[in-house]
Structure 1
Amino acid sequence: MSVELRAVGVSLSGRRILHGISAQLSEPRVGIVGRNGSGKTTLARVVAGLIEPNDGEARIGGLDMARDRRAALAAVGIIFQNPDHQIIFPTVLEEVAFGLTQQGHPPREADAGAQAILQRFGKAHWAGAATHSLSQGQKQLLCLMSVLAMRPGVIVMDEPFSGLDIPTRMQLMRYLDGIDAQVVMVTHDPAQLRGFDRILWLEQGQLVADGPPADVLPHFEARMLEWGGMDDLAHLSG
């Protein structure tokens, strides 16, 4: 499974958000960095097929994600920054099974698939738990299991560890390490991407650097420190 971005351009409410982003992403772990307002989340939603570009296209395995929603359901899953914006069912089992029913599985098969993924993660005892009773870290794990149950080739994660404490982030990263799917993670924290294979750096909707973490992240961190040391905050208006 490979993500192909072909001159992707996006405008929202009359404002240009992305400008001609092109990249062929075949590496298992791809990170997208940039400061707030750089277009990271918009690009993540384009990859997941949730936003159709005004220009260019985003394909996974040769299929256009925005124009073929059935293909998108099978090919790509997305995990948002706030799990409360993603979880919609009262119990864990119902939440995990929902994606499988969306893919066309009968209810009994969907429940069996949901039970299997809970068992895989050692969380079979969560099946009847109320989703509202889970901690934020547990909710993020629930979202991850729900996506994995659908067996996508690509998982897009938009700031998935924001607001979580260090031990919880470490535990979720260990779960992430064991995932077979390609992971495309959006973050502003370079520390989360040290073991990744490739980094895309966005600024003002443009791709300013693309390469291995050792090549891209030191320059990104230096730029962030430079801006952070300035007294004039005009550059943060984007």
Structure 2
Amino acid sequence: MPAVSFDEVTVSVPVEHSPVPKVLLDDITLRLTDQRIGVIGANGSGKSTLLRLVNGLVQPTSGSVTVDGADTVGAVRAVRRTVGFVFTDPLSQLVMPTGREDVELSLRRSVRNGAERRRQAEAAMDRLGLLHLADQSIYELSGGERQLMALAAVLAVEPGVLVLDEPSTLLDLRNRELLRLTLAGLDQQIIMSTHDLDLALEMDRVLVIEAGRVHFDGPPAAAVAAYRELCLHTTAGPGTGTR
């Protein structure tokens, strides 16, 4: 199983008209070796930033992130051959007119033969029940169908690590169940942020992120309980706002 390591990682960004930067993640040290890792927390807590560090979409301000020893800054190409990333909004990564073309595009570097590339692309789409949609315009697909097509394009190249940023957000119940079953059957290491606590409970390990720090790291049921407790303590009653 791949090892994803965070060593004293801080991420901060400048703030206009302020000498003090905004800290998105603060002093994160983790070693992620479990097969299925969930990341939960409120919007703005730092979940997406944490995930984007894994394949170099975000660089640490200080500290380092490595994937099987490869640094996400110094060896970003090697890291991205290992790490596949699925965005919350599939239109952020579906760039071709149809799903077939997009999945084939993802295979272009690794599969030179056109017929074999088409066969592998169709197999990837068929695995997610998408083959009948292969030649439809991306813009004719539902949000859930686009999300699954983006997942098919990433899985086609067989990454060792699959990072998913809130993948069930746009899915209806049927497609959510298809996603759940698909993830359960994968050999890849999965690192996934989600607001779906039932999905989080199916992970092997769950991180709770709060205000840029790891609030809890442990078994799924305990993590979800810790997150619920955190939400209760950070939400005041009616008329009093939040704190």
Amino acid at match of 1:111: R
Q: Is the 8 A contact 2:85 2:162 kept in 1?
A: yes
Do structure 1's residue 215 and structure 2's residue 222 form an aligned pair? yes
- Judge which range, 152-161 or 104-113, deviates more: 104-113
1:173 pairs with 2:180? yes
The verdict on how the C-alpha distance between 1:179 and 1:221 changes in structure 2, with shifts beyond 3 A counting, is same
Answer whether contact 1:51 1:66 (CA < 8 A) is retained.
Answer: no
Cα deviation digits, residues 90-109 of structure 1 (max 9, x gap): 011111122222x4543615
| 1:9 corresponds to | 10
Deviations 1:26-83 (A, max 9, x none): 1111011111111111111001211110111111111112332321231101111111
CA distance in 2, matches of 1:67, 1:74: 14
**SS at structure 2 position matched to 1:35:** coil
Q: TM-score, normalising length from structure 2? A: 0.88
Q: 1:187 aligns with which of 183, 187, 194?
A: 194
Contact 1:190–1:221 under 8 Å retained in 2:
no
- The percentage of aligned residue pairs carrying the same residue is 35
Query: Which residue does the alignment assign to 2:18?
Result: none
Q: Which has the higher helix share?
A: 1
Q: CA deviation at 1:122?
A: 4.4
Which stretch shows the higher mean deviation, 155-164 or 124-133?
A: 124-133
Map 1:1-238; keep pairs closer than 5 Å.
Answer: 1-13=2-14, 14-101=21-108, 103-106=109-112, 108=114, 109-231=116-238, 232-235=240-243
- Contact preservation (8 Å) 2:144, 2:170: no
Aligned AA (1:94): E
CA contact (8 A) 1:33 1:186 kept: yes
- Contact 2:168–2:196 (8 Å) recurs in 1: no
Instruction: Measure the CA separation in 1 of the matches of 2:34 and 2:124.
Output: 25
Q: CA distance change for structure 1 residues 45 and 194 in 2, over 3 Å: closer, same or farther?
A: same
CA 1:216–1:119 in structure 2 vs 1: closer, same or farther (change >3 Å)? closer
Change (3 A) 1:115 1:189: closer
Deviation by residue 1:196-224 (Cα, 9 ceiling, x = unmatched) = 11011111111121111122211211221
Distance (Å, rounded) in 2 between the aligned partners of 1:37 and 1:124? 36
Q: Structure 2: which 5+ residue stretches go unaligned?
A: 15-20
- Aligned pair count reads 234
The TM-score with structure 1 as length reference comes to 0.90
CA distance in 1, matches of 2:233, 2:154: 38
